[in-house]
Amino acid sequence: MAEPTQESPSSPVPRLKCVPLGNVVAAYDRHSGRTHVLDPLTAAILEERWLHGIEADGEALSSAVAGRLGCDRNELLLQLVGESLARLRSAGLC
């Protein structure tokens, strides 16, 4: 469902354009034309997915996110990752 849009056969353009704004990330979804303001955790999840193709729900994703944020992969993080994924799904972003 979440494919990057292709603008030409030879140069795929990433679906999400991100601009860091202090401690949040402004994101433009080229596929839907919607704009999102994401907390750092959600932004980290999206970046890991889009840049590194790490699938949702996997251990790899939460490990990568933990690494990115500089924290342990603990219960709380897993819960927050789950909530963020739910938000992303309802926004049609993954």
Partner 1 sequence: MQTIESLAEPAVADALCRGTLELRTGPFTTRIRSEDTLIVAELRRLYAAHPVRLNPDFSDFHVEVRSVSGPRRWVRRQVTFLFDGREPFKPLPAVQSFALFEWGLNWCIASSAHRWLLMHAAVLARGDDAVVLPAPPGHGKSTLCAALAFNGWRLLSDELVVLDPETGEVWPLARPINVKNQSIEIVRKLVPTAVMTQPVPDTLKGTVAHVAPPIDAVSAMGERARIRWVVLPQWQQGAATTLEPMSPGEVFPALIENAFNYEVLGEDGFDALSLAARDARGFHFRYSDLREALGVFEDLARS
Partner 2 sequence: MTPNISIGLAQLVRGELNALPRDLDGWDRLIRVARAANLLGSIAAECDRAGCLESVPEKPRVHLLGALRLARRQAVAVRWEAERIGEALAPIEERVVLLKGAAYVADGLDFAAGRMFSDVDILVPFERVRVVEDALMRFGWATTHLSSYDQRYYRQWMHEIPPMQHLERGTTVDVHHRILPRTARFDPDPASMLEHARPSRQWPGIWVLSREDMLLHSATHLYHEGETDNAFRDLLDIERLLGCFAEDPAFGASLFARARDLQLLTPLTVVLTMAEAVIGTKVPPEVARELNAQPPSRSLQRMLNTGWQPSHTLCEKPGSAVCRWLVYARAHLLRMPPHLLILHLFRKAWMRFTDADDMPRTENSR
Contact footprint for partner 2 (CB under 8 A) = 31-33
Find the binding residues for partner 1 in span 31-50 (CB under 8 A).
33, 35, 37
Query: How buried is residue 2: exposed, middle or buried, by Cβ count under 10 Å (0-12/13-18/19+)?
Result: middle
* Closer residue to partner 2 in complex, CB, 14/82: 14
In the list partner 2, partner 1, none, the entry touching 35 (Cβ below 5 to 8 angstroms by class) is partner 1
Q: Binding partner 1 by CB under 8 A: which of 28, 78, 87, 91?
A: 28
Tokens of 93: 């972003």
40 and 26 Cβ atoms separated by less than 8 Å? no
